[in-house]
Amino acid sequence: MADQRALGVRIEDVARAVGVSRATATRALRGQGRIAPATRERVRRAAEELGYVPNLMATELAAGGTGVIGLMLRDAANPVYGQLFSCLEVAAVRAGVELITVTIGSDPRGERQVQALRRLLGMRVAGLLVATGGVDSTQLEPFAAEVPMVRVGRPEASARVFAESYDEEWHGHQLAERVRALGHRRVVVLGAAPETSYGEHLRAEALAGALAGLDVRRVATGPDPTDGVGAALAEVDAGATAVLCASDVRQLAVLRALATRGASASTTGWDGLMPGVDLLGLTTVRMPVEEAAEAAVARLAGLLADEPLSVPTHRSWRGELVPGRTLTEPEPR
């Protein structure tokens, strides 16, 4: 197998070992162009023996660009992104495209995002998948001009950036209907400011909109899951019977606080991706991550293959309501 200085082995060394030219060795290794089967075998064997590892930089430079597509991902510690990441990977394998990932942790101003994008572009990726909410259309636009770009998991304003997102409007309706049907009259919606988390902001808006007619108290959260929980509980003390959260992580924080204070109220969340949702009895909406991921990769693959685009620029996918024990009829007071 690979011997000591295998990384120093160039294709030239392989060629020489077999007694052919570099071009022939290339053909043998890439399996393209006319070449004698026997030669090909000899070259392959030699490459194997020498532990030849092609230098991708050189390969891609010479070949002019790479077929790889870049993925910009947000913090994977969040189960939501971890799941999305995984689905994107699966989809990529299925579509036969290579994925190269760059992640950014929290990044309030979107600077690291832009930097990460440049890094990806520097690698001359063939396409870009943007799976992070923190960067907005205006920051994306200039790059979209260079390479096809698909945003996943968040809607997009620009017509030049494609998007496969979630139908949060509809999700909000599902949740709202349930809350309303159970008889809640005064509820608190825990949402984020657009800068904090665009996704949660959107969800809270959708939810509040769908709850029109009820007494809806809005509470803004910060980046930390526990932000705003205190304010929400105060609303509960003041008579609200349900705390509606824009993510399951927030919902957990609320449940924790409720338990600690010995208080009780209905709660709902959003995402439905945590391993124990069922056991915890969370009421939430399961995001259609698989579909969105699959669609995003398929679209990008189509774009790269120069297929005429047959689907709308922006699409959104519907998940499903997960009824749980956390949402019940309001308790009589």
Binds a copy of itself (CB under 8 A): choice among 22, 82, 218, 227:
82
Residues 277, 324: contact at Cβ < 8 Å?
yes
Find all residues with CB under 8 Å of 150, minimum gap 6, and list them: 127, 128, 129, 130, 161, 162, 163, 164, 296, 299, 300, 303
Closest CA to 68 of 101, 90, 91: 101
Contact partner, 222, from a copy of itself, DNA, none, Cβ < 5-8 Å per class: none
State the nearest-atom distance from the C-beta of 135 to a copy of itself, in Å: 15
Which spans in 129-284 are helix H? 137-144, 168-181, 198-210, 229-237, 248-261, 277-280
Contact partner, 103, from a copy of itself, DNA, none, Cβ < 5-8 Å per class: a copy of itself
For the chain, the farthest-separated pair of C-alpha atoms sits apart, in whole angstroms, at: 90
DSSP letter for each residue of 279-303: HHT--EEE--HHHHHHHHHHHHHHH
Segment contacting a copy of itself (CB under 8 A): 19-27, 102-110, 183-191, 237-245? 102-110
> Applying CB under 8 A, does 159 fall inside the site for a copy of itself?
no
Tally of CB atoms within 10 A around 224: 11
Closest CA to 236 of 253, 212, 261, 202: 261
- Residues 4-23, one symbol each (x = binds a copy of itself by CB under 8 A, - = not), give xxxx----------------
> Applying CB under 8 A, does 31 fall inside the site for a copy of itself?
no
- Buried b / exposed e across 272-309, counting CB within 10 Å, b at 16+? bbbeebeebebbbbebbbbbbbbbbbbbbbbbbeeeee
State the nearest-atom distance from the C-beta of 300 to DNA, in Å: 22
**Considering beta carbons, is residue 28 or 303 the nearer one to DNA?**
28
Looking at residues 234 to 263 of the shown chain, list those that interact with a copy of itself (rule: CB under 8 A): 248-249, 252, 255-256, 259
329-169-290 Cα angle (round to 5):
100
State the nearest-atom distance from the C-beta of 62 to DNA, in Å: 3
State the nearest-atom distance from the C-beta of 134 to DNA, in Å: 28
CA 279, 242, 154, 248 dihedral sign is: negative
- How many Cα atoms occupy the beta-carbon half-sphere of 12 within 13 Å? 2
Binds a copy of itself (CB under 8 A): choice among 103, 137, 316, 328:
103
Looking at residues 133 to 152 of the shown chain, list those that interact with a copy of itself (rule: CB under 8 A): 142-143, 145-147
Contact partner, 89, from a copy of itself, DNA, none, Cβ < 5-8 Å per class: a copy of itself
Contact partner, 278, from DNA, a copy of itself, none, Cβ < 5-8 Å per class: a copy of itself
**Considering beta carbons, is residue 59 or 264 the nearer one to a copy of itself?**
59
- Buried b / exposed e across 127-159, counting CB within 10 Å, b at 16+? bbbbbbbbbbbebbeebbeebbbbbbbbbbebe
> Applying CB under 8 A, does 61 fall inside the site for a copy of itself?
yes
Residues 179, 244: contact at Cβ < 8 Å?
yes
State the nearest-atom distance from the C-beta of 114 to a copy of itself, in Å: 11
Interface with DNA (CB under 7 A): 10-12, 19-24, 26-27, 29-30, 32-36, 38-39, 52, 54-55, 58-59, 61-64
**Considering beta carbons, is residue 116 or 244 the nearer one to a copy of itself?**
116
Looking at residues 260 to 289 of the shown chain, list those that interact with a copy of itself (rule: CB under 8 A): 274-276, 278-280
Residues near a copy of itself (CB under 8 A): 1-7, 51, 53-61, 66, 75-79, 81-83, 85-87, 89-90, 93, 98-103, 105, 118-119, 121-124, 142-143, 145-147, 248-249, 252, 255-256, 259, 274-276, 278-280
